[in-house]
Amino acid sequence: MLEGAAILGRILGVTRLYVGIEINKRDAIAALEQYAGDYGVEVIPLKVQYPQGSEKQLINAITGRVVPAGGLPMDAHCVVQNVGTAAALTAAVKQGIPLVERIVTVTGEVVKYPGNFRLKIGTPVLEAVRFAGGVTEEPGKLILGGPMMGFAQRTFQVPVAKNTSGILLLPERRAVNFRSEGCIRCGRCVQGCPMKLVTCMLANAIEAERYDLAEQNHVMDCLECGSCAYVCPAKRPLVQHMRRAKAEIRRNRQLAAAAAGGKK
Ligand code: SF4
Ligand code: SF4
């Protein structure tokens, strides 16, 4: 990973390389600090908070810079890459090995031996769970990714993909199917949003399919962290609304660009 970071730094011509790790991962910090200097990388212990791993949060926590609304890391003169990408880069550049495997966290109350596993891309999820010792009881829900940002799956017949960071299995009693109620205007979603978005109003606009209003009110800055949906007492599917709006806006932009291209 450190070597991959150095390769990336050379390709991009950057002057400083950092790896951010939450401060409670002391063993990982100590392990990286042993070698980081050899690759010109500085290890930065970060406050433990959620969300911390998104690029805008990382840039702010490490450099103090702020990515402007609607902007990209480049606007703050930064590039953020995943540690898995950095490690894969070393394998590709030094050994000519394409991305054929990745580290996947297989976890959840019902998993017998939860842990991190190096799995081939395409490994069936059921096989990965078997590799982790199988289950202690019938799982009620499968989520690919983490508990906050992951995607619930309709079926267990899915494979590990290059973006599968985790496999989370919940027991039936935790896989609650709740009904969404109307907004009670408590403001908890607004208080909880790390991007300072007025989430409840955005959700109203999106429910009315007013994606133009959502765009004007910065929905594209949403990290999809799920904090708003987590704290909402009315159980509104807020993060799902944000994802839908972002996808619609991107699609509309592509259509507009294609139409503009056709006119030239
Ligand atoms: S998912 Fe919700 S809390 Fe997280 S950034 Fe988006 S609107 Fe804000
Ligand atoms: S947390 Fe839920 S109920 Fe409260 S203001 Fe936000 S959307 Fe409405």
Average pLDDT, the chain: 94
pTM of the model: 0.85
DSSP-based helix, strand, coil % in the chain, nearest 5: 45, 15, 40
- Decide: 241 in ligand 2 pocket, CB within 6 A: no
Q: Is 61 exposed, middle or buried (0-12, 13-18, 19+ CB in 10 A)?
A: middle
- Decide: 184 in ligand 2 pocket, CB within 6 A: yes
Residue 176 predicted with pLDDT over 90: no
Give the DSSP H/E element, type plus range, for residue 118: strand 115-120
Given a contact cutoff of 8 angstroms between Cβ atoms, the answer to whether 140 and 173 are in contact is yes
Confidence of residue 177 (pLDDT cuts 50, 70, 90): confident
- Decide: 187 in ligand 2 pocket, CB within 6 A: yes
Per-residue model confidence (pLDDT) at position 264: 59
Percentage of residues of the chain with pLDDT beyond 90? 90
Cβ atoms within 10 A of the Cβ of 264, count? Answer: 4
Look at residues 234, 230, 227 and name the one whose alpha carbon lies nearest to residue 192: 227
- Decide: 193 in ligand 1 pocket, CB within 6 A: yes
- Decide: 222 in ligand 1 pocket, CB within 6 A: yes
Supply φ then ψ for residue 255, to 5 degrees.
Answer: -65, -40
- Could you report the per-residue pLDDT of 111-139, keeping only the tens digit for each? 999 999 999 999 999 999 999 999 999 99
Cβ atoms within 10 A of the Cβ of 101, count? Answer: 17
SS3 state at 91:
helix
Residue nearest to atom 3 of ligand 1 (CA): 193
- Please state, in angstroms and rounded to a whole number, the distance separating the CA atoms of residues 115 and 103: 10
Residue nearest to atom 4 of ligand 1 (CA): 225
CA 94 to ligand 1 centroid distance, Å: 39
Cβ atoms within 10 A of the Cβ of 232, count? Answer: 23
Residue type, 178: F
Residue 80 predicted with pLDDT over 70: yes
* DSSP β-bridge partners for residue 186: none
- Decide: 125 in ligand 1 pocket, CB within 6 A: no
- Please state, in angstroms and rounded to a whole number, the distance separating the CA atoms of residues 132 and 126: 10
- Decide: 19 in ligand 1 pocket, CB within 6 A: no
* DSSP β-bridge partners for residue 46: 22
Per-residue model confidence (pLDDT) at position 263: 67
- Please state, in angstroms and rounded to a whole number, the distance separating the CA atoms of residues 131 and 125: 10
Given a contact cutoff of 8 angstroms between Cβ atoms, the answer to whether 78 and 65 are in contact is yes
Atom of ligand 2 nearest to the CA of 231: 1
- Could you report the per-residue pLDDT of 225-261, keeping only the tens digit for each? 999 999 999 999 999 999 999 999 999 999 999 988 8
- Could you report the per-residue pLDDT of 35-58, keeping only the tens digit for each? 999 999 999 999 999 998 899 999
Residue type, 36: A
